[in-house]
Structure 1
């Protein structure tokens, strides 16, 4: 059987033991910036929670627990992606830089334009869909105390945790794993000894859609705080609304790179920040 030149090879050992720690550290360190932003942004909430009589620990302990829990999830996602992503044809410029010394900027230059454009479009589509499909504002908690300062203070969380950490969790870890499992399963169903052909377009789209839905589900805890309760309408909107962005970011991860998905994710938040500032100013 002829093997396509660009097909992922199961015996491509780019994850040699000698370089695994360095490759893991590069991606984990990138994602850890988002975890720090998450803890810094949630500081007031942690202090308020620690002052509750039902919580017998300090805000510092809660912050440490948040860091530990988030770091474990990130570490698992990075490790899973290190094994599965290259085998199904996904790439990361940061990983290639650490592994082979390939330059990041020159390789990323052609991807920035499409990533920013698609991220902005995704953000606009989500905003328009929110006006049409999101639950009535009466079901949402009071936002009268929102200020420009509060909106701007959320920028590190949006760009670092949303743009970087969430992409490592959902695209690099989860989407790569789904694509890899499907690729292996399809090979076995066909009765072959797992041919080395690349995953089909349909399989990759399934991975994109599943990771997009998982992306939406991951926003339900925050939605419960915002809306007060998770009604059917709230769950449907949160999952499908966030899946809009998830599909765009997943497609960029497939067709370009992990970094392109990160740039698009951060760009979508530019739309949300600008709109929030306009609402506050009006």
Structure 2
């Protein structure tokens, strides 16, 4: 019975992340259209393979986060409350305002960053980015949920534990610098992970393009990582969603 209780939150988290993976499937043909070379498989098979690969990665990092988050005091309080039939609303309330503030701040910063860099970015990149913008639901579900499970729940939790073991004696209280370093490293990895798609969108690779992709994607990671640390995973997820909504609204006004 205890084993079942301990595994339920992980199952919930995986299902949420899987919904995000499925949301990107209709967008895959648009990405494949970027390739000039013949496709090795049919579009449908590539979609299936993509879902399988992404699901395996999600499964691994959800498992990683489930193990190491407990070791370093990080949590997903709303999901854990739901899994154990406790008051999830009570756990959610303290996360709502920080998520809204963090998301708006992050979204506005990213819009300002794009405005600052736009004149230095390749025209082909900007044009392709407008044509290949993922649908809003993919931004919310994959960006907001799946990416947070991969980067914050999985990688950041592991990095906090790893840095703690490298810099402190076992059994001592985990110091803040371990969380801060883990936020920085996981955010940087998140930024670097967006370079391949950026390079696919632009025939010209420039220093401003690389700087924009890394800084733009990593910068919000600092906000989400801090919220995960201080408030819980759902706060980071909510902020990520609000950031996307802020950028959508801001782009429409622009």
- Displacement after TM superposition at 1:100 (Å): 3.2
CA contact (8 A) 2:13 2:62 kept: yes
1:101 equivalent among 85, 94, 103: 85
Matches of 1:247 and 1:60 in 2, distance apart? Answer: 36
2:227 equivalent among 243, 252, 263: 252
CA contact (8 A) 1:135 1:233 kept: no
Structure having the larger proportion of residues in helix: 2
CA contact (8 A) 1:252 1:261 kept: yes
- Displacement after TM superposition at 1:104 (Å): 1.8
Q: CA RMSD in A?
A: 2.5
Matches of 1:223 and 1:232 in 2, distance apart? Answer: 12
Matches of 1:219 and 1:146 in 2, distance apart? Answer: 16
- Give the structure-1-normalised TM-score: 0.81
CA contact (8 A) 2:78 2:89 kept: no
CA separation of 1:18 and 1:260: change in aligned 2, threshold 3 A? same
Matches of 2:206 and 2:126 in 1, distance apart? Answer: 18
- Give the structure-2-normalised TM-score: 0.90
**1:124 paired to 2:100:** no
Q: Which residue of 2 aligns with 1:202?
A: 177
Give 4+ residue runs of structure 1 displaced > 6 Å after superposition.
Answer: none
Deviations 1:13-67 (A, max 9, x none): xx95333442321110010011001112224444x479x7622311110000110
Deviates more, 1:227-236 or 1:175-184: 227-236
CA contact (8 A) 1:27 1:94 kept: no
Q: Which residue of 2 aligns with 1:62?
A: 46
Q: Which residue of 1 aligns with 2:20?
A: 34
- Displacement after TM superposition at 1:196 (Å): 4.3
- Larger Rg over CA atoms: 1
Q: Which residue of 1 aligns with 2:138?
A: 157
CA contact (8 A) 1:49 1:55 kept: no
Q: Which residue of 2 aligns with 1:11?
A: none
CA separation of 1:118 and 1:55: change in aligned 2, threshold 3 A? same
CA separation of 1:56 and 1:109: change in aligned 2, threshold 3 A? same
2:148 equivalent among 159, 162, 167: 167
Identify unmatched segments of 5+ residues in structure 1. 1-14
- Displacement after TM superposition at 1:215 (Å): 1.4
Identify unmatched segments of 5+ residues in structure 2. none
